[in-house]
Amino acid sequence: MRRRSRVIGLTAVVVAASLLAGCGGEQEELDAWMAQQRREVKPNVPPLTPPKRFDPQPYDEARSVEPFSTQKLTVALKQEARQPNSMLAAEMNRRKEPLEAYPLDSMAMVGSVSRVGRQFALMKVDNLLYQVKVGDYLGQNYGKVTKITETEVAVREIVQDAAGEWIERPATLQLQEKGR
């Protein structure tokens, strides 16, 4: 038994050696082909363009205009209001009403009243109660009350879109129930 396993092991070693000897010729052939390819094929890589020269500019804040100044915004709004087709023209030339000092999200509709066929909404702002009717203004975006029902106040606001144009945007204030 021992002799038989020894013969099998010896046979396996002889077979492996002969297989490795057979691969040696293929390696030389492969090396010759690689050398030929290196000689014949030239890479075609275009040269890189040099980077553009950067000339830093000194920052002189004393001579520049503050981009977020309220004066700059006020001037821009007045220029916009001078244009005859502007939605904003009529809004800029009228007297502001008290509820225009507050943003819409700080207001709450707490009730409605009907007197002499006219609908009024009761608005609560800073723990004060205001009475509004259709045509009154409220909110900071030139909001005008367009409709009042028992459960909501419809408002038309004038806001700037992403392109800087003035557009109308509808908004509503829902009746706030007592538990809220």
> What digits encode the pLDDT tens for the residues 67-108?
777 777 777 777 766 665 566 777 777 889 999 999 999 999
Report the DSSP beta bridge partners of residue 171.
Answer: 155
Architecture of 97-174 per CATH?
Answer: Roll (2.30)
Residue whose structure tokens are 């010759």: 32
pTM: 0.53
**Cα(75)–Cα(81) distance, rounded to whole angstroms?**
10
Neighbours of 87 (CB within 10 A): 15
Half-sphere exposure of 45 (CA within 13 A, CB side): 4
* Domain-wise residue ranges, the chain: 1-30, 97-174
State both tokens at 127: 């723990």
pLDDT tens digits, 19-55 = 666 555 678 888 889 999 888 888 788 888 999 999 8
State both tokens at 31: 């090396």
**Cα(129)–Cα(2) distance, rounded to whole angstroms?**
109
**Cα(71)–Cα(93) distance, rounded to whole angstroms?**
18
